[in-house]
Amino acid sequence: MDNCNLTAETCSIIHCDLDAFYASVEQRENPSLQGKPVVVGGDPRSRGVVATCSYEARSYGVKSAMPLAQAQRLCPHAVFLPVARQRYQEASRQVFAIMADYTPMMEILSIDEAFLDVASSLSLFGTPEGIGRTIKKRVEKELNLKISVGISYNKFLAKLASQLDKPDGFRVIKADEALALLRPLPVQHLWGVGEKTGRELDRLGLYHIGDIQDLPEGWLADKIGSAGKLFWELARGIDPRPVTPGRQRKSLGREVTFAADTADINYLKDLLNRFAAELCGKLRQNGLDTSTVTVKIKYNNFAAISRSRTISPGNSDMLIGETATDILQDAYHGYPPLRLIGLSLGRLTPAPALEQGSLFANDSAGPDDNEIDRVMDGIRQRFGSEVIGRANTLTWKKHRPPNL
Ligand code: TTP
Ligand code: MG
């Protein structure tokens, strides 16, 4: 029986998020790791950070984005593993394939998380709760992974439902229970409230979602601007955003923490070109263009800056690599040394389909950038990503950081 109040607002939104995803894949591949603290991120003697860890490791205080060395101090007997991205991507693809059996209305948020709107699948597959339970069972039985499932009448509450019940969660938030459930939760549970906004709300004496529920409409927007309206609505269980299939990613990024600080500008540029090639390959695989290029650097004193540039939409290695190295050139003058560099590509939009004949359109001027990229993609697909690169990415291997 469906627990949702179908007469009020239909609970047709399902949010699914795998538990301790990378670590669970590792535990699945190597059963001797099951029940043990597993940290994925790399060698604890390196200066990288934790990508994720098993729930066994979380009980020692280890969490995502924490330096690996700190994770090892907290949990010295944890097993530390490198990030095996391809393995997780394959598992992710399999999980999304199961979800896609129940609706085309699927919005993928990240490698392990998606929203489904099953409103138009009910005549075929039964209730949203039944569909949620089936997905959960199938992911466990067919893929040997645990996934938390939350169901409600909008995206905010569906995601909250899956988070509140983690790990191995299954929870429905009905329309008539949402307000009471939200009331005692810290404001950090509202979508978009991070550390900075949390402090701002704190200063206004707003600690719990109930504090925001009790405000007159417009009060918070007057204090903190348009986000105030959004938070007030979320606090009252209002979130009109639809599930939008195809809007799979907002951005794509790659960063590295160096084994030793570096100020070698040529090496840093090589790395950015390398990241550009890798990320653009993914854009092309997914038929996407980017129009915002962001370079992030962190100095050896941990201060960090990021600089962005808007470009006309594209996905060419050369274009993005040049933009990224230009940004670095403007933003960094060789001091202080860096401990981290990253590249991210934002505002992703569908790339226009290739026009017939465009492959050879540039004959007289020699092959164009897009053509070269496509040929290299084909070669990489067949023989691996390391076998070919543009000249501007070829020196990086000399300095290859341990976690790349
Ligand atoms: P999450 O879903 O945030 O985390 P999780 O699946 O490991 O754990 P849970 O959902 O049970 O809380 O992220 C999914 C994967 O994304 C995660 O397994 C590893 C990767 N990731 C990073 O690489 N760095 C990060 O800082 C975070 C948060 C995740
Ligand atoms: Mg997860």
List the one residue out of 90, 91, 66 whose CA is nearest residue 78: 66
Beta bridge partners of 179: none
The stretch 283-290 carries a mean pLDDT of 81
**Residue written as token pair 């934790």:** 50
Predicted confidence (pLDDT) per residue in 226-277, tens digit: 899 999 999 999 999 999 987 556 789 999 999 999 999 999 999 999 999 9
* Cβ 88 under 6 angstroms from ligand 1: no
Record the tokens describing residue 315, joined without a space: 């996905």
Query: Ligand 1 centre and the CA of 51: distance in Å?
Result: 7
Predicted confidence (pLDDT) per residue in 23-71, tens digit: 999 999 999 999 999 999 999 998 888 999 999 999 999 999 899 999 9
Which ligand ends up closest to the CA of 253?
Answer: 1
**End-to-end alpha carbon distance in the chain:** 49
User: Nearest C-alpha to atom 15 of ligand 1 is from which residue?
Assistant: 21
Residue 21 · residue 89 · CB < 8 Å: no
Query: Ligand 2 centre and the CA of 309: distance in Å?
Result: 31
Query: Ligand 2 centre and the CA of 293: distance in Å?
Result: 27
Which ligand ends up closest to the CA of 55?
Answer: 1
Task: Determine the pLDDT at residue 110.
Answer: 83
* Cβ 22 under 6 angstroms from ligand 1: yes
The stretch 321-349 carries a mean pLDDT of 94
The stretch 70-88 carries a mean pLDDT of 95
Catalytic residue among 113, 129, 278, 322: 113
Task: Determine the pLDDT at residue 289.
Answer: 86
Residue 370 predicted with pLDDT over 70: no
* Cβ 112 under 6 angstroms from ligand 1: yes
Residue 360 predicted with pLDDT over 80: no
Q: Global pTM?
A: 0.69
Pocket test for ligand 1, best of 15, 18, 52 (most atoms within 8 A of CB): 52
CA torsion 57→59→63→66, rounded to 10°?
-80
Pocket test for ligand 1, best of 17, 64, 81 (most atoms within 8 A of CB): 64
Specify which of 1-10, 88-97, 284-293 reaches the highest per-range mean pLDDT.
88-97
* Cβ 20 under 6 angstroms from ligand 1: yes
CA–CA gap between residue 194 and residue 197 (Å, rounded): 6
CA–CA gap between residue 5 and residue 286 (Å, rounded): 38
Task: Determine the pLDDT at residue 369.
Answer: 60
Residues in the chain: 404
CA–CA gap between residue 58 and residue 64 (Å, rounded): 9
Residue 345 predicted with pLDDT over 80: yes
CA 244 to chain centre: 16
SS3 1: coil
* Cβ 167 under 6 angstroms from ligand 1: yes
Residue 380 predicted with pLDDT over 70: no
Residue 113 is a catalytic residue: yes
* Cα distances (angstroms) measured from residue 130 to each of 3, 127, 149, 254, 270: 10, 5, 11, 38, 51
* Cβ 39 under 6 angstroms from ligand 1: no
Average pLDDT, rounded, for the chain: 87
H or E element, residue 361? none
CA–CA gap between residue 180 and residue 182 (Å, rounded): 5
Which ligand ends up closest to the CA of 27?
Answer: 1
Residue 395 predicted with pLDDT over 50: no
Task: Return the number of other C-beta atoms located less than 10 Å from residue 403's C-beta.
Answer: 18
CA–CA gap between residue 4 and residue 127 (Å, rounded): 9
Task: Determine the pLDDT at residue 165.
Answer: 93
Q: Which long-range CB contacts under 8 A does 126-133 form with residues at least 24 apart?
A: 127/1, 127/2, 127/4, 128/2, 128/4, 128/10, 128/11, 128/12, 128/13, 128/14, 129/1, 129/2, 129/3, 129/4, 129/11, 129/172, 130/2, 131/14, 131/102, 132/14, 132/16, 132/170, 132/172, 133/170
CA–CA gap between residue 213 and residue 236 (Å, rounded): 6
